[in-house]
Amino acid sequence: MKARYILGIIFCIFLIGEGTAQTDRNEALNLEDTVLYYDSLFWLSYNSCNLEKLKTFFSDDLEFYHDKGGVTTNLSNFMQSLSQGICAHNGTRMRREAVKGTIRVYPIQDYGALITGDHLFYRLQTGNKEVLDGQAKFVHLWHLTKNKWQMTRVFSFAHAPMDFGKSKKAVSLSETQLEQFVGSYKSSLTGEVLISRNKDQLSLKSGDFEVLIYPESESNFFIHERDIEFRFIRNADGMISKMLILENSEIVDQAEKTDR
């Protein structure tokens, strides 16, 4: 009898513990769903540059920390930086897209929640196709007060260009082979393009833009910074006559070699 009584108490304690744990799990799930919902609304406003809607997601005492841009304090200064930056009416827009599997929500007792994750940024310029522009990590601190969710602290960091050449494999070309591409090229869009050689590498320079280009074959080259390829065309004599420039696998420009 006594043994049954003790077992009954243990069983009741177990049920109470299970019930409490299930309640905690349900509350955590409800919190996560809520924060993810407001997070999705925020990014919809961001992607469309709806500034009036955007500012409703932040508290007046907002602090925004950016690894490249520094610290911006209070909502007024932050909204001004948006209106003069990514949401300026210059024909260019940025679109943010979360990286699947990276978003996490963590409860903050008696305050709200943290949401963290990785995201990608796409640049869209009027008349052009959308281009993947970079990547970063974020941490947003959401505060629940008077049934209203707002961000009070925002951290945006680890900004970096995408490594578009990561999936490509560079081949080895001799110095003699590389020398064929060296010279000046003329484009109606970008002007003069210079290709020079530094031992076993080629460098491409156009205005302020200068990158190393890597051979994927004897005529195709790529870069790591953007999804851009350079395809060299030979004339009937086997000499390099022009260079096709492809972005996202589409020809966007071509440059004639001027010093053949």
Burial of 2 (0-12, 13-18, 19+ CB in 10 A): exposed
Considering the domain architecture, whether residues 9 and 122 belong to the same structural domain is answered as yes
Considering the domain architecture, whether residues 145 and 191 belong to the same structural domain is answered as no
Considering the domain architecture, whether residues 52 and 85 belong to the same structural domain is answered as yes
DSSP string for the chain: -HHHHHHHHHHHHHHHHHHHHHHHHHHHHHHHHHHHHHHHHHHHHHHHT-HHHHGGGEEEEEEEEETTTEEEESHHHHHHHHHHTTTSSSSEEEEEEEPTT--EEEEETTTEEEEEEEEEEEEEETTS--EEEEEEEEEEEEEEETTEEEEEEEEEEEEE---TTTT--PPP--HHHHHTT-EEEEETTTEEEEEEEETTEEEEEETTEEEEEEESSSSEEE-SSSSEEEEEEE-TTS-EEEEEEEETTEEEEEEEES--
Considering the domain architecture, whether residues 188 and 139 belong to the same structural domain is answered as no
Assigned domain for 82 exists: yes
Domain extent for 220: 175-257
Count of structural domains within the chain: 2
Considering the domain architecture, whether residues 237 and 144 belong to the same structural domain is answered as no
Considering the domain architecture, whether residues 97 and 57 belong to the same structural domain is answered as yes
Considering the domain architecture, whether residues 143 and 232 belong to the same structural domain is answered as no
Considering the domain architecture, whether residues 141 and 17 belong to the same structural domain is answered as yes
Could you say which of 113, 137, 160 is where a domain stops?
160
Residue 149 near residue 142 (C-beta atoms within 8 A): yes
Overall pTM > 0.85: no
Considering the domain architecture, whether residues 253 and 150 belong to the same structural domain is answered as no
pLDDT of residue 23: 47
Q: Tens-digit pLDDT profile for the chain (260 aa)?
A: 555 555 555 555 555 555 544 445 545 559 999 999 999 999 999 999 999 999 999 999 999 999 999 999 999 999 999 999 889 877 788 999 999 999 999 999 999 999 999 999 998 877 777 888 889 999 999 999 988 999 999 999 999 887 777 778 999 999 999 999 999 999 988 899 999 998 888 999 998 889 999 999 999 999 988 888 999 999 999 999 999 999 878 898 999 999 86
Considering the domain architecture, whether residues 142 and 185 belong to the same structural domain is answered as no
SS3 4: helix
Considering the domain architecture, whether residues 88 and 49 belong to the same structural domain is answered as yes
Give the rounded distance of the alpha carbon of 174 from its chain centre. Answer: 36
Assigned domain for 167 exists: no
Assigned domain for 89 exists: yes
